């Protein structure tokens, strides 16, 4: 059975190659989606090439809803997006994948059933198909080579759905078993370096010593130091002093 996670239905309209259906299933499951609907696949269903390409995502194909036509696939959906790379002369709102999946997420959270249509590999969705959609998703691709593989297009939309649904952090640190250094730890490190540099005659001439110390403290404060970093820097300085004393 599909998961209970609220999500859109990805509708493959008249897909031609089993391998691409399998690739679409893998792309969906990579990002936690498992509601696939397949409209009139060219090579019939089930399709062993799709199963082979799906690899660990074969469950999606087992549970996919097969329909003979597009109206049947969309009959319970309140809002539908159509993916297309070409202008179609139809008056509809046009979204990027990112904005479309934000809109899809808001609608799904409000209890609506949402569908995202993907066209056959050769030429994409027909105008008759797109006329049934409420909005268009257009990927900002190279206009000289605008054709996207079915699996690629599904992957893009599935990725953006995951970002919208899980509020992905744009950047984060992997602290690898340590933690950020506290202010007092950085202060003690700064004092350690100031003391040893003073002993070495670094703060010269005397009238510039205060500004040099301020610059050095500012350097430490700009660094995102971990406790492991602080311990390492203390150790480096101690070893350099020991080495000098042995000399």
pLDDT digits (tens, 9 = 90+) for 125-141: 999 999 999 999 998 88
Closest listed residue to residue 102, CA positions, set 159, 14, 164: 164
Residue 190 has pLDDT above 70, yes or no: yes
Higher pLDDT, 33 or 140: 33
Mean pLDDT of all residues in the chain? 92
What pLDDT sits at residue 144? Answer: 82
Residue 186 is predicted with a pLDDT of 94
Share of the chain above pLDDT 90, in %: 78
User: What's the pLDDT at 2?
Assistant: 72
Q: Is residue 133 packed enough to be buried (19+ CB in 10 Å), middle (13-18) or exposed (0-12)?
A: buried
Q: How confident is the model at residue 30 (pLDDT cuts 50, 70, 90)?
A: very high
pTM of the model: 0.76
Three-state secondary-structure class, residue 131? coil
Which residues are within 8 A (CB) of 193 and not within 5 positions of it... i.e. 6 or more apart?
Answer: 216, 233, 237
- Band the pLDDT of 25: cuts 50, 70, 90: very high
For residue 168, what pLDDT band results from cuts at 50, 70 and 90? low
Q: Which two tokens stand for residue 221?
A: 């404060």
Fold of 9-166: Alpha/beta knot (3.40.1280)
pLDDT in tens, 47-92: 999 999 998 899 999 999 999 999 999 999 999 999 987 766 789 9
User: What's residue 163's pLDDT?
Assistant: 93
Give the closest residue to 119 by CA, choosing from 43, 13, 17, 23.
13
Write out pLDDT tens, residues 94-117. Answer: 999 999 999 999 999 999 999 999
- Delimit the domains of the chain by residue range: 9-166, 183-246
Confidence class for position 196, pLDDT limits 50, 70, 90? very high
pLDDT at 173: 78
Output the pLDDT for position 87: 66
What residues have CB less than 8 Å from 179, skipping those under 6 apart?
226, 227
Contacts of 234 (CB under 8 A, 6+ apart): 189, 192
DSSP lists the bridge partners of residue 82 as: 117, 136
């Amino acid at each position: 059975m599909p998961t209970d996670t609220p999500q859109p239905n990805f509708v493959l309209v008249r897909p031609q190659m089993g391998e691409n259906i399998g690739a679409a299933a893998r792309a969906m499951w990579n990002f936690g989606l498992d509601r696939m609907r397949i409209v009139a696949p060219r090579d019939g269903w089930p399709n062993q090439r799709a199963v082979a390409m799906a690899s660990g995502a074969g469950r999606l194909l087992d549970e996919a809803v097969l329909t003979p036509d597009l109206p049947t696939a969309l009959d319970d959906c309140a809002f539908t997006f159509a993916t297309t790379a070409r202008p179609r002369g139809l008056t509809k709102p046009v979204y990027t994948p990112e904005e479309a999946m934000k809109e899809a997420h808001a609608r799904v959270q409000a209890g609506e059933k949402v569908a995202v249509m993907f066209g056959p590999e050769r030429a994409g969705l027909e105008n008759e198909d797109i006329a049934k959609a409420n909005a268009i998703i257009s990927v900002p691709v190279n206009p000289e080579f605008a054709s996207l593989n079915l699996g690629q297009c599904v992957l893009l939309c599935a990725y953006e759905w995951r970002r919208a649904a899980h509020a992905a952090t744009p950047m984060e640190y992997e602290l690898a078993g340590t933690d950020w250094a506290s202010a007092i730890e950085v202060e003690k490190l700064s004092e350690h370096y100031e003391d040893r540099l003073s002993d070495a005659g670094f703060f010269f001439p005397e009238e510039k010593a205060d500004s040099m110390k301020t610059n050095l403290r500012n350097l430490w404060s700009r660094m995102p130091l971990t406790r492991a970093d602080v311990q390492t820097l203390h150790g480096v300085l101690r070893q350099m002093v020991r080495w000098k004393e042995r000399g």
